[in-house]
Amino acid sequence: MKIELKEGERLDDLNRDGYRIIQNEKLFCFGMDAILLSGFAQVKEGGCVLDLGTGTGILPILLAAKTPGKHFTGLEISRYCVDMARRSVALNSLEARIEIVQGDIREAGALFAPASFDTIISNPPYMTARHGLVNPDVEKAAARHELLCTFEDVARAAARLLCVGGHFYLVHRPFRLAEIIRTLSQYGLEPKRMRLVYPYVDREPNMVLLEAVRGGKARMTVEKPLIVYERPGVYTKEIYEIYGN
C-alpha cells in the first residue's frame, strides 16, 4: 500500500516480513530498548496484547511479525504519534491485527474492559519529572520523562487490564529496579523473570527487561546477561538475531 509521508518523516525497514515503519526525528524514534523488549516478550497463539504508550507503533508491528498473537492494541496519548502509527499499520496491511487507540494511560481503565488482555507490554518513560534535563520539546520530553504518567500509573493500568495469570513485559533502567519491583508487587504483578542488558561485557548494565504475572507466586528467574556489543560498532550474535539480521 502506498502511504504519503509528511514533512520530516521517513520510512525505516524493520527486517521482519518486509514490514516498515514511519518515523519523524523531530518527534521520537524508537531505540534498541523497544527491539529488545520485542525479543523478550512471549505472546501465545491467539493472544490479545496491549502496548501501553505505543509511540509510533513499533512494538505491536514487531510482535505481529514475531509472534502468533491474534490481536495487538497500541495506546498512545500523542495525536502525532497515533497518526504515524495508524499509517504504518495500514502501510503493512495489518489493520486486521493491530488497532491504535488515542488515549491517556491514566484513563486506560475506562477505555478497555477489565481483564481484557492476556499480555501487556510497555516501554515507559525512564526518568522521573525531576531527574536530569528535560527536553524543551514536549513530545520528546514526555517519551523520556514521567510528565504525563508515572510508572505507578503504568503498573496500575496493567493490573486492571490483565486477566489473572496474564503477563506484563517491560523495559526500564536498572537504577529504578527496587522501586519497580515494589510497585509491581503492590499492584499484584509478581516479578517472574528478569534479564539485565549490558552495553559491553565489562560495563555496568544500562537496561533491565522484566516479566511479571498478575496473581503469580513469589519466585523470580534471573536470566543470563544480554551483551549488546562485542566491540565498538559490532553487535553480538544474539543482538543480530533479535534484530532479525
Tell me whether residue 2 is exposed, middle or buried, using C-beta atoms within 10 angstroms of its C-beta: 0 to 12, 13 to 18, 19 or more: exposed
- Strand pairing partners for 101? 75
Element of type H or E holding 138: helix 138-144
Q: What does the pLDDT read at residue 145? A: 42
Rounded distance between C-alpha atoms, residue 24 and residue 1, angstroms: 20
Write down the pTM of the prediction. Answer: 0.91
Per-residue model confidence (pLDDT) at position 127: 59
- Radius of gyration (Cα) for the chain, nearest Å? 17
Residue numbers in the chain where pLDDT is lower than 50? 133-136, 138, 141-143, 145-146
- The beta strands (E) that lie in 127-188 are given as 162-172
Distance spanning both ends of the chain, measured CA to CA: 24
- CB 56 within 8 Å of CB 14: no
Q: With pLDDT > 70 as the criterion, what percentage of the chain qualifies?
A: 90
Predicted pLDDT at 159: 98
Fold for 9-243, please state it: Rossmann fold (3.40.50)
- d(CA 99, CA 199) in angstroms, rounded, equals 34
Other beta carbons within 10 angstroms of residue 34's beta carbon come to: 19
DSSP secondary structure letter of residue 145:
B
Neighbouring CB atoms inside 10 A of 171's CB total 26
Domain limits, the chain:
9-243
Q: What is the pLDDT of residue 63?
A: 97
